[in-house]
Structure 1
Amino acid sequence: MGAWGAGSFENDAALDYVEEIESVDDIAGALKLAGQAGYIEADEGSRAIVAGECVAAMRGHRSKDMPDELAKKVHAFGKASLELYNDARDNLSAVMSRGELVELWAEEGSGDWNRAVTDLMERLNQPAKSARKPRKKKPQPNPSPCMFCDQPMGDEQFHMLDLTIHEDDISTSKRGGWVHLQCLNAALHPKHMIQNWQFDDELLEWVMKKLEAEREGK
């Protein structure tokens, strides 16, 4: 019986691809889905997710579930280029939006895959860790409870949800509160997950230059 699970490294297609990765080019080769229209097969999506995990690890945000041998390889590749980083984000967004994995995990219904890919998205949002010792910055805590899990939000967690319920033509009720994005997405149909992509100054400048070059036909 083949392996099948919600995590990035918990299915046969992902594990087969892990064995193929020997260079940065092997990672880039799996990141070709974002620009393609149409359906994304489960195996293609699984490979793109693993590629995204590799890029996250190259930026210092490795998954605790990454196989040790793969972790050693990607560490030797050095920091991911901005092009590879942008491609990883675009491809994960595409996999989260459409294709066979969305359909399969909607049928499964646990929300585990939604939580797993949201975790990867959040790690791909984080700035690259510097080789130099960073200045110590005290994180801003948020002790308020999440509306879904009732656990404290944690450091630097400030997502909020506002609900407005229209009971009839004139009556409405409102409710709002703090939510972990992973908890919120786990409760949603995979097709309707919230994608909260962030751009730091370095990536935003690179994207703007790329768009400008494309407009000029370079």
Structure 2
Amino acid sequence: MGAWGTGYFEDDCALDFVDELEREGNPKETINYALDIPIDVEYLGVEEGCAIIVSATYIDRQINGTIFTPIGRNDTYSVDTFADRHPEVDLSDLREKAIQALHSVLCENSELNELWSENEDDYPLWRQGLEELIGRLNR
């Protein structure tokens, strides 16, 4: 059984994307590509949505200095060391693209949004977490 939780890293797809970022020689290029996906697709799949969320957390960490974990979450994975391990990677210019991509994850043409909306108990918490991440990136 796979991981599935409301936290940013409580999903197998999200953790797979983190692994991909760690293996890539150019993590900024990988993040930029993930954020461009909503431009080219009519329907945003789960894997792409998770990649967008993870990418946005990396950008948030770099811009705001700490990883944000919404109250009530149990995110056990942290991107706190990414900026220390990759000081040459500046993600700040991807802020606006991340905000737009996160809005795509929350729209009706998103498989993640569709799946979460079927869960009446957890959907508000999941959505609130993404809206709070957008708010942090808008600072």
Tell whether the structures are fold-level matches, with TM greater than 0.5. yes
Report the alpha carbon displacement of residue 74 of structure 1 after superposing the two structures with TM. 3.1
Structure 2 gap ranges (5+):
70-74
Q: 2 CA distance for matches of 1:8 and 1:57?
A: 13
Q: 2 CA distance for matches of 1:81 and 1:60?
A: 10
Q: Which amino acid aligns with 2:80?
A: A
Residue equivalent to 2:91: 80
Report the alpha carbon displacement of residue 33 of structure 1 after superposing the two structures with TM. 2.5
From 35, 55, 60, the counterpart of 1:31: 35
CA RMSD of aligned residues (A): 1.9
Greater RCO structure (CA 8 Å; 6+ sep): 2
8 Å CA contact 1:39, 1:100 repeated in 2: yes
Q: 1:47 to 1:88 in 2, by over 3 A?
A: same
From 77, 87, 99, the counterpart of 1:89: 99
Residue equivalent to 1:4: 4
Report the alpha carbon displacement of residue 16 of structure 1 after superposing the two structures with TM. 0.8
Secondary structure of 1:19 counterpart: helix
Q: 1:125 to 1:90 in 2, by over 3 A?
A: same
Q: 2 CA distance for matches of 1:92 and 1:33?
A: 11
How many residues align? The count is 124
Trace 1:21-60 onto structure 2 (pairs within 5 A). 21-22=21-22, 23-60=27-64
Q: 2 CA distance for matches of 1:79 and 1:123?
A: 17
Structure (1 or 2) with the larger CA radius of gyration: 1
Residue equivalent to 2:72: none
Asked if 1:17 is matched to 2:17, the reply is yes
From 114, 117, 120, the counterpart of 2:133: 120
8 Å CA contact 2:13, 2:50 repeated in 1: yes
8 Å CA contact 2:6, 2:125 repeated in 1: yes
After TM superposition, the score normalised by the length of structure 1 is: 0.52
Q: 1:67 to 1:74 in 2, by over 3 A?
A: farther
Q: 1 CA distance for matches of 2:131 and 2:68?
A: 12
Asked if 1:102 is matched to 2:113, the reply is yes
8 Å CA contact 2:62, 2:91 repeated in 1: yes
Aligned-pair identity (%): 32
Q: Which structure has the highest helix share of the two?
A: 2
Q: 2 CA distance for matches of 1:125 and 1:35?
A: 20
Q: Which amino acid aligns with 1:19?
A: D
Q: Which amino acid aligns with 1:124?
A: L
8 Å CA contact 2:62, 2:92 repeated in 1: no
Report the alpha carbon displacement of residue 66 of structure 1 after superposing the two structures with TM. 6.8
Structure 1 runs (4+) deviating above 4 angstroms are: none
8 Å CA contact 1:33, 1:94 repeated in 2: no
